[in-house]
Amino acid sequence: MGMRFLKWIAVTLLLVLPFHAASIDKKIRSSKQKLASTKSSYAKMDRKLAKIARQIEANQKKLKQLDLIITLSDKEIAVNSILLSEGEKRLLEIENNSTVLNRKKAEQERQLIDLLANRYILEEIKKERGIQSPDDVVESELLTALIKSDNERLKSMQKAYLETLKVSEALSKEAKRIRNMIERLKKKKERAAREKERRKKLMASLEKEKKEYQRRLEKLQKEESDLRRTLAALNILKKRAIEKEKKRRLDNTTHAIASGDRLHVRTIGSSYQKHAIGRYRGRKTFSPVGKAKVVKKFGPYTDPIYKIKIFNESITLQPYQKHAKVKNVLNGRVVFAKETPMLGNVVIIEHRNSLHTIYAKMDKIAPTIREGKKIKRGYVIGRVENELMFEVTQKNRHINPLELIRLR
């Protein structure tokens, strides 16, 4: 019977384990995909926005952990409050009993000392007197009887004294145990109070970060709206589509910020975004700022805090060289060169086949650049201190600038 049972278990495990392993592999793949998706989303975000988002997510995780700790602590304190109350009552009782015992012990010690002293005196008298007459015999017998009586009383008192000591020691140990328990419970209450204070500070920090995040998100939306208005005014993008998209995006962002973490938008739901992306099929050209890294990518991503879909129509380049020159990447004509409220200095250049390149957030526009001027590929149009916003459009469509330029 035992062998058949073991064989049945072995067969069951052989059948179940492959499915279990497959399930684990599936979970691992899902986790890897989710992680890759998250990294991709962060890579496409504005760098400062991504940093704040990561901090918010980290603090939200800490907040969940703190909430769990506080919940468990509150439950434990609720249960332990009875123990604490009973412990404190018992401790008071022990202290009262100990006071009585200490008095009793002191009295017993005094009686023992008196008895020992009395016995010693009797024995010394007996030794000194000796037996010299019949009266001495009677007196000696009487002293012997007294000494024997004292010895019996001494044994009885010693036993009682030892019992008192034993009870006193037991009460002392119990008191120590109860004091330790009370100390532990009080420390737990203090720790719970500290955790609640930490939670309060974390909530304040989280609120501050969210406000900063909202401010930054709104700023980015305004920057993109400002650029789209400029492009629409130049008839580079259709004005009606721009206005429709601007309204939809602002509504989405406002609704997301107003709803906070409760919002979970998963779809883009805009024909403008679905059909606004084009492909560049010509030869690649150089980067407008030379060697640089992309700190904000082109394309759609889901905002990790408000779960709204956001579309980056440009890329942001951070040149390795400080105060880098910004160069025109293709032959063309300057159609816009001004400082704008949201995007700083902006230059837009028109090229062949209705292709336009947009250079925004420049610190300076070159003094030789003016609207209507034809410029060659490589012409310096300005300088940028930290980051350049670079966008490419063609026939009312947005193109991933990385299809046009090489960074290395």
Report the sign of the C-alpha dihedral through residues 193, 198, 203, 208, in that order. positive
Q: How many helices (H) and strands (E) does the chain have?
A: 5, 16
Q: Extract the tokens encoding 345.
A: 């200095």
Predicted local distance difference test score (pLDDT) of residue 326:
97
On whether the CB atoms of residues 287 and 406 are closer than 8 A, the answer is yes
* Superfamily the domain 234-406 falls into: Glucose Permease (Domain IIA) (2.70.70.10)
Q: What is the mean pLDDT of the chain?
A: 76
Of the two residues 92 and 283, the one the predictor is more confident about is 283
pLDDT tens-digit series, residues 347-396:
999 999 999 999 999 999 999 999 999 999 999 999 999 999 999 999 88
Query: How much is the average pLDDT of 167-192?
Result: 79
pTM of the model: 0.59
> CATH for 63-207?
1.10.287
Residue 26 has pLDDT above 60, yes or no: no
Q: What are phi and psi of 309, to 5 degrees?
A: -80, 130
Banded model confidence at residue 137, pLDDT cuts 50, 70, 90: low
pLDDT tens-digit series, residues 189-220:
788 788 888 888 888 888 888 888 888 888 88
Predicted local distance difference test score (pLDDT) of residue 366:
97
Residues 6+ away with beta carbon under 8 Å from 66: 195, 198, 199, 202
Predicted local distance difference test score (pLDDT) of residue 262:
40
Any idea where the domains of the chain sit in the sequence? Answer: 63-207, 234-406
Q: Extract the tokens encoding 5.
A: 């049972």
User: Which range has highest mean pLDDT (17-21, 63-67, 238-242, 343-347)?
Assistant: 343-347
Common-topology check for domains 63-207 and 234-406: no
